[in-house]
Structure 1
Amino acid sequence: DVVIDMMYAREDNFTGKVIYDRTLCFLHPEAEACLRRAVTAARGFGFKLKIFDAFRPHEAQEALWAVLPVPGYVADPAKGSNHTRGVAVDLTLLDAAGNELDMGTPVDTMTPVSHHFYPDLPAVVQLNRMYLLTIMLEAGFVHHPTEWWHYQLPEAKEFELVSSAVFAGFLDAAA
């Protein structure tokens, strides 16, 4: 019911280079519990979730900011990212056959068309975005207004920034 496809472990992302060296997906336990609820809610609509990003090490946030230092689309690493707190997830919906639903733009399209409620989109795209929004809100997440794919825990800034050292044991075991 979940496909993990960490987009920064590949070159085909907005930076044009690999940012992560592993394709593991980590979340804060509270975010993980919400994600489990989202999986169940998506299943109720006949959908699956496809995760593109979750916990993001500080070094990765710095690499993203170096390419696109635009607040509102990329978090300033000096202030911390909700991905670096482990409480944010970037994702989309898949149909029963495993095809991505049309959301109007690819993930990480940093333009107004990627805003949640951009008005000039086909009805099917608006409906698909509303499915994702409904599923994620029901699960306990809140949305980011400029990124249809980004969801995070409410009060995300209250969570501590997480060092990638916390996951060192998992990373070593996966190597």
Structure 2
Amino acid sequence: MTGLGTAFRALPTLVAGLLALTAAAPVAQAAPEPEAPPEFVALRSVAPTVTEEMRYTTVHNFVGDRIDGYRQPLCILTRPAADALRRAQARLLRQGYSLKVYDCYRPQRAVDHFVRWAKDLQDETMKQEFYPHVDKSRLFADGYIAEKSGHSRGSTVDLTLVKLPALPTRPYLPGEPLVPCFAPRSERFPDNSVDMGTGYDCFDTLSHTDDPRITAKQRANRQMLKSTLVAEGFVNLPEEWWHFTYKPEPFPGTFFDFPVARRSVAGHRAG
């Protein structure tokens, strides 16, 4: 019994020692989320009348799922790009139109999500709407998906025109029948934008800005968007009527990965 009694008497000392070791051990912490540099702002703080329909915060996109890095439906851009959109919006409002943005700054983690999806050839959930004529195995070779995106540099924006007054676009219902993005406007998903000949993110050559097969009205709408933005310093990607990059870019060689969230630009004021 003497040995057992000694062990019991030593127990508090052993417990105290273990607690001390536990308290001294470093606690693993998650790395803090990166924040946007001060050159980035929320578009609505600069041009609040621009409509924002941030597609990648929803499941209505070519992946069919909410995209990594999009925490909140918010357009974030570099200040020069946001200021240029403000000027373009002022011109359009006088003509009875408004800009509507679908995507702005895009985190690298979102691009990585696109790449993982593109490599999974079995997942064709949204094919019927967004890439009905393109074999998924060709998405990289045909240039629809890449491992880097200009959007991650913060001065690229995807957008369209809306005729005012405009009703809101109805919510997409997961599982609803899909219609090809190049179908007549009356048949495809009822976006409230003007008729551009295809829907947004349509993986098809008909999305080329100057494709000769579109109607005169569709061509006029595309050219109205393009000429308005070009006048304010944007350059259009010829393969996508909706894709514009402000030049010169403040960060031409940097691909950022901070999340799309209000906290990323908290305290950043438009100057």
Q: What's the TM-score, normalizing by structure 2?
A: 0.58
Matches within 5 A, 1:2-151: 2-19=50-67, 20-68=70-118, 69-70=139-140, 72-76=143-147, 80-98=148-166, 99-151=192-244
Q: How far 1:165 moved relative to its partner?
A: 6.3
Q: Which runs of 5+ in 2 are unaligned?
A: 1-48, 119-138, 167-191
Compared with structure 1, are the counterparts of its residues 164 and 53 closer, same or farther at alpha carbon in structure 2 (3 Å cutoff)? same
Farther off after superposition, 114-123 or 156-165: 156-165
Count of matched residue pairs: 170
- Given that 2:235 and 2:245 are in contact with CA atoms closer than 8 Å, whether structure 1 keeps it comes out as yes
Q: How far 1:7 moved relative to its partner?
A: 0.3
Structure 1 distance, partners of 2:151, 2:160, is: 16
Q: How far 1:57 moved relative to its partner?
A: 0.8
Q: Secondary structure at the match of 1:17?
A: coil
Provide Cα deviations, 1:33-79, integer angstroms capped at 9, x if missing partner: 11111211222322101110001111111112233452633332xxx
Compared with structure 1, are the counterparts of its residues 21 and 45 closer, same or farther at alpha carbon in structure 2 (3 Å cutoff)? same
- Given that 2:107 and 2:260 are in contact with CA atoms closer than 8 Å, whether structure 1 keeps it comes out as no
Q: Secondary structure at the match of 1:89?
A: strand
- Given that 1:25 and 1:55 are in contact with CA atoms closer than 8 Å, whether structure 2 keeps it comes out as yes
Compared with structure 1, are the counterparts of its residues 81 and 155 closer, same or farther at alpha carbon in structure 2 (3 Å cutoff)? farther
State the identity as a percent. 34
Q: How far 1:158 moved relative to its partner?
A: 2.1
The one-letter code sitting in structure 1 at the alignment partner of 2:143 is: G
The one-letter code sitting in structure 2 at the alignment partner of 1:72 is: G
- Given that 1:73 and 1:146 are in contact with CA atoms closer than 8 Å, whether structure 2 keeps it comes out as no
Q: How far 1:140 moved relative to its partner?
A: 1.1
Structure 2 distance, partners of 1:125, 1:55, is: 27
Q: Which runs of 5+ in 1 are unaligned?
A: none
The one-letter code sitting in structure 2 at the alignment partner of 1:9 is: T
Structure 1 distance, partners of 2:198, 2:219, is: 11
Higher radius of gyration, 1 or 2: 2
Provide Cα deviations, 1:108-135, integer angstroms capped at 9, x if missing partner: 0011000000001111100100110011
- Given that 1:114 and 1:148 are in contact with CA atoms closer than 8 Å, whether structure 2 keeps it comes out as yes
The one-letter code sitting in structure 2 at the alignment partner of 1:161 is: F
- Given that 1:141 and 1:152 are in contact with CA atoms closer than 8 Å, whether structure 2 keeps it comes out as yes
- Given that 2:78 and 2:154 are in contact with CA atoms closer than 8 Å, whether structure 1 keeps it comes out as yes
Give the counterpart of 2:263 among 154, 162, 169. Answer: 169
Partner residue, 2:183: none
Q: What's the TM-score, normalizing by structure 1?
A: 0.87
